[in-house]
Structure formats: structure tokens, C-alpha cells
Structure 1
Amino acid sequence: MISEAQFQEELLSLIKNGIREDIGPGDYSSLACIPDSAMGKAKLLVKDQGIIAGVEFAKMIFSHVDPTLQVETFMHDGTPVQHGDVVFHVFGSSLSILKAERLVLNSMQRMSAIATKTYGYVKLLEGTNTKILDTRKTTPGFRAAEKWAVKIGGGENHRFALYDMIMLKDNHIDFAGGITQAIHKTKQYLEEHNLDLKIIVEARNLAEIEEILESEGIYRILIDNFNFEDTKKAVALIGDKCLTESSGNINEKTIRQYAECGVNYISSGALTHSIYNMDLSLKAF
């Protein structure tokens, strides 16, 4: 996984690009009718229900836009919310609040939806030893915030990107000439470039799992698109030789049964790519 410093850099880059995209040369709507000296306050109002996420990120956005803005927080990241709840108040320059408004709302609405969906999956896994993981199926440019939201919802992060973990999937295996060749070439590459990265290998059937297990140093096997019975067989076959992960069209109706097959992790792209934004608004008062 990436370091905390790298993660913070990603968040800052996201904020800078979001402000650039939205403000450009100036917020002319606000500049045209509001004096520079105007001071105001606004509240973050919930018009939905679920798990709130992005409160700390909103503070980062406000601070980046104007360090003099002050935020009074009433509900923290990970808190269940319902229609009518007020999450925070923000005080300061009216122009600054308006500059930050859309990026704050866009971010919090999406992050809250992701945290809510993740929390639902976590609840479905209660009583098992299986943990829910996100994937790289994220919104371009917004990955850091989305992965943060998964953690707020009680899930765990998979690799952040292509550079912090090795994941040999079907195309890598086919292009490399097979599983054993792909693993061997990967280990050589890591040694030659002095890289210390964990290796995950995808298996499409039980025969491929047997071949993967012939190689040492595999961190996790991705049991991809297996049915329940074959997943149980795969888990038994792997034993404690490495960790296991199920993926592939797993949803709310099937996630519990896959967990009961004994896998360590279940990864789901739906946490980030199939959600409906939470309804939030920032209202002056």
C-alpha cells in the first residue's frame, strides 16, 4: 500500500484539480454580487440517510480555499445520519465558502454513498472471518477520496494503483505464456529492480490454483468467478499456504455465502462504481 504521505499528496492533488476545474479564472457569479468583505455562515444539511463521509476531507478543502474559514463539526466521519441532520457549520468569507461549496458537496455526496454501501457489506459479513476490499474501479482523479470512504464505511483498501502491489491477472498470465512463467518473470523483475512488492495471482479454475501453489512467495490467490462449491474446494486446496480472495459478480445476495466458503477477503468494484450519491446541501443561514 502507499504511504500516508503519498496518500495525503493524492488528496491535495485532487483538491487542487477540483478547484481549478470549478473556479478557473474566477467565480464570477459570486464576485458580481457579493462584496469582498462579506462574511457568512453555512450548514451542511443531510437530506438522505446512511453513513456520512468526507467531513475531514471537507475541512481540507475549506482550508485550501481559505485558511481563515472555521468549521464547527457536529457529526464525524462514519456516523449514521438521517434526513434533517446538520453535520457541520462553516464560518468566514462568503466568497470563500461559495468557492469551496461544490467541491465539498460533490466529494461528500459520493464519499457518503460509498461509505454507506461499504457499511452494508460489512454488516452482511458479520460473524465471518472475511473482510471486504475495494478495487481500482474508481472515478478517474478521485481514487484517494473513494478509497478513504471505503475505510470510513468499515472496509479495507486493496492496492491503491498499479505501482504498490503486483497483481497477475488473466491477461498478464496469457501474455506472459502461462502462470509459472508470469510468476517467474515477476520475481526476476522485482529482484533486478530492488522492489519489495506483494504478489497476488488470479486463478480461473482449480487447476490454475494448483499451478500457482507450486511457486513460493505468493501473498494471495484471487479466486475469480468461482461458484460456491469450487470456492470451498479452492480454499481447502490453498489451506494456509497464502491468503485467499474471492471476486467476480459478488453482490448483496451472494456475499455472505462466499464468505462462508472460508475466503479471507472479498473484493467488490460495486463499492465505488455502483452507488447513488447521498443527498446533501450547503445552506447559508
Structure 2
Amino acid sequence: MNTRPGPTTRVRIREISGAVVRDRRDDLATEEPLEIRLSSLDGARRTVAITMRTPGHDFELAAGFLHGEGLASPEGVAAIGYCTDEDVAPEARYNTVTVRLHGPIPDLPALDRHFLTSSACGVCGSASLDVLHDRCRPLPRGSLELAPEVLYALPDRLRKAQGVFGKTGGLHAAGLFTRAGELIALREDVGRHNAVDKLVGWAALDGRLPLAEHVLMVSGRASYEIMQKALAAGVPVVCAVSAPSSLAVDLARDFGMTLVGFLRGERCNVYAGQERISL
């Protein structure tokens, strides 16, 4: 078997509603592992991450993850492809992505400890704001300003564009918007961080980084990992439907980012970077 997995999986269920029972089919969000490998032109190879994800946009997920962690810039990537190595079973070929670099594989002593995880969690487990300051600079103030009315429209536009969520009801989404609130790109995944990685990977492979004039909207909460990935992509404004974590707020304030939480209906909380919201 060498079948490429899709974003949804159909299963049979028994639905109970009051006294009515019926058997029917239901669509679930597919969840399968993805192994991300790095290889160099001299033949060296290393696994850097194993994450549970929804199949689809896998190359973007790999590129976004590597960019967010400072392991590979878009210019440093020679090629991305599904693995054809003999040590990978045929049914797992589409669950293994190899990213070939122009240069050598980065020599990071702690790589094995914080990237071989069950979810794409950025530098969690070993990271701190001090570590992040070593490789990221605060974002410039720039000219981006957003009216509250633009913010209020983002959640509904994000939700309407979630095709797989409409079928399954079980996916997170990350959307990239212009200053006018126009949706540029959207990615879905069972993991919040994966959805952001796919979006950043799309921008990286398309030569759009940094995203200095854009807004990132996520369907869940704003965590440290999401803010770190947005910072690496140069996104100045991050909006979330739910609450931010305390470390996410600290990161936003330290690096000059705007962080908006509880964006629902015509209300929101601005936790950092209030100067980019024009009242």
C-alpha cells in the first residue's frame, strides 16, 4: 500500500438523538505523524522533528518549522520531497519529508532534546525569552495601523474559509490578512502550531518573508510558540479568538509585537502593541 493520506477520514458511527438511533458515516480530521528530516549535499541526514499533523501542505509545514526554529532559511533550502529511502515502509512514504540543504546540517547540541516531540512546539522545553533574543530582534514600529472594525471582521472571514473544518468540526486554522482585512492565505491542521508553520512555510517558499504588513489570525489561543513563529516571520500583529498565555504577552511586549486576544464579535482585548490599533 502506498496511498497518500488526505485531510479527512470517513468512518461509520452510531448517532443517538433523543430516542432516535441511526447508523451513518462521518468525516473526521485525519491525524498522522510527519517526520521531518534534514539532508546535506554530502549525504548526511538527520531527523529533526516528528509531529502529529493533518496531511496536506506538508512541504510548507516542514519549511515553516525549520524557518521558525532558525534551522534553515528559504535561501538555504535546495529541495523538499517525500522520502524514498529504502528504510521507510511504502505506507509511510507520505509521512516522511526530507529537506535538502545547500550547506551542512546545523550542529545544535540540544536538537534531539527539544525537536523529537509529539507536536510541533517550537523551542518549548528549553526556550526562554533570553534564548529568543539571541536570534531574533524586536520588530520595527512600521506603518501598519488597524481600525477596530478591521479586527472585528477577521474571525468570521477565517471561519468561512475553513473548508475542512466545515466537514469535520475538528481543526485549527491560521489565516494571513492584509491591513484592510483581506484574507491572503489560510492553512488548517489538528495542531495550532502546525497551521502556523504551514502558513509561514507557504510565505517562505513563495518569497514573501518578512510579513511586515500583515496580520496573523489563529482560531484558538495565542501561545508562546505561536508568537515565536510569528516573530520569526516578521508578523507585527497576532490576533486570537481565545486567550493568550502570560509568556505570549511577555514575548509580544519584549519584541514590539501587537497581540490581540478574545477577538469575538465586536470586542477584543489588546495585550501589547496598542499603538498599532487606531481608535
TM-score by length of 1: 0.27
Higher relative contact order (CA closer than 8 Å, sequence separation 6+)? 1
Structure of larger gyration radius: 1
Structure with the higher helix share, 1 or 2: 1
Structure with the higher strand share, 1 or 2: 2
TM-score by length of 2: 0.27
